Amino acid sequence: MVIDGDRGGMDADHGGGAESERKAAWPEAVGHRADGPVGEPADGGTDAGTGRIPRQDAGRDAGLDPGPNGSPHLSPAADTNGGGDVVPPAAAARRSGIAGLSLPYQVVAALALAVLGVLGAVHLAMVFLHVAPSNTLTKQHSEAIDDWVYPEFEQNWKLFAPNPLQQNIAVHVRAEVAGDDGRRITPWMSLSGEDGEAIRGNLLPSHVDQNELRRGWDFFLNSHDSENRSNGLRGDLSERYVRRIVMLRLDAHDYGGTVERIQVRSAVRSVPAPAWSEEKTNTRPTYRVLPWWTVDPADLPGDDAAARASQGEETDK
């Protein structure tokens, strides 16, 4: 049924307005595209002249959000490059890590990574050659390999030893000192006890305190028989090494004279069995006493050796 519009009737499409007062069915909104502004419906209409329904999220794909009147504007999540062009958020997120740094910092980071990689490869190669069976390469470069590995990166199997050490081994020394009141012999001094005091409670103990005396004494025992006689070419070298260690320790003490002779011994005491064990352990110490050694300039630290040598030359004259 059609009601005449001239008599105040209702228009079926516009809700009762007179034909002269009719408004557009869809208010037009201006949208901006790459080829210039075009007429674009605000709420799901069709493009003028094309009949296509525009995508409302087209602006969002480029980092743009539609404004209150339908016109797109820059999204807060979007980024721009130095030229003012819009950079999509996905592209901005990809610029992370080293790629997100400026060129000078990228060069520095690349160089640092290269240096670390080279050092890691060299370290792995040195440790491998150190533990590998003897071959031509390790024989030719044994000195360089040992300088790299010892003492910080030493490799051994003591952690997996089937018979771990169950004894406390202490090294003692006493000296014959010549002073103004004649010659006298000092009491036994525990060199191992001094090392223990330096290590105990120290978060970063020195390798010298931990290993020098222990390794030197092991070296001597392995190159001498039970009668303290050298069993090879390394016997004299091990004796010299122990004597120099002893004189370095004695140099830190003032005995009121000149050390003429030294005597070294080891005290071995078995570690007692735990309280819950029925094992019986003899904890009495056993000693290995070395003969007296006469001190010569080669056994003394640098300044003392020079002074002792000059004193000997004057005595000879």
- Return the structure tokens found at 179: 């002073």
Helix (H/G/I), strand (E/B), else coil: 80: strand
Give the three-state DSSP class for 41.
strand
Give residue-wise pLDDT tens across range 189-222: 999 999 999 999 999 998 888 889 999 999 999 9
Confidence of residue 34 (pLDDT cuts 50, 70, 90): very low
Residue owning tokens 């570690």: 271
Prediction pTM value: 0.49
CA 211 to mean position of chain CA atoms: 23
- Dump pLDDT digits (tens) for 113-142: 999 999 999 999 999 998 888 889 889 998
Query: For residue 186, how far is the Cα from the chain centroid?
Result: 46
> Which burial class, exposed, middle or buried, applies to 299 when counting CB atoms under 10 A from its CB (0-12, 13-18, 19+)?
buried
Distance CA(239)–CA(27), nearest Å, equals 107
pLDDT digits (tens, 9 = 90+) for 88-108: 555 555 667 778 888 889 899
Segment 242-261, tens digit of pLDDT = 999 999 999 888 888 899 99
Each residue's pLDDT tens digit, 264-275: 999 999 998 888
3-state SS class at 130: helix
pLDDT band at 77 (very low <50, low <70, confident <90, very high): very low
SS3 217: helix
Q: Which of 31, 24, 37, 38 lies closest to 67, judged by CA?
A: 31
**3-class secondary structure, 164:** coil
Q: At 140, give phi and psi (nearest 5°).
A: -70, -35
CA separation for the pair 164, 171 (Å, rounded): 20
**194 Cα distance to chain centroid:** 31
The label of the residue with tokens 């006469």 reads 294
CB atoms within 10 A of CB 177: 19
What stretches of 98-212 show up as alpha helix (H) in DSSP? 103-131, 136-140, 142-149, 191-199, 207
User: CA torsion 148→151→155→161, rounded to 10°?
Assistant: 170
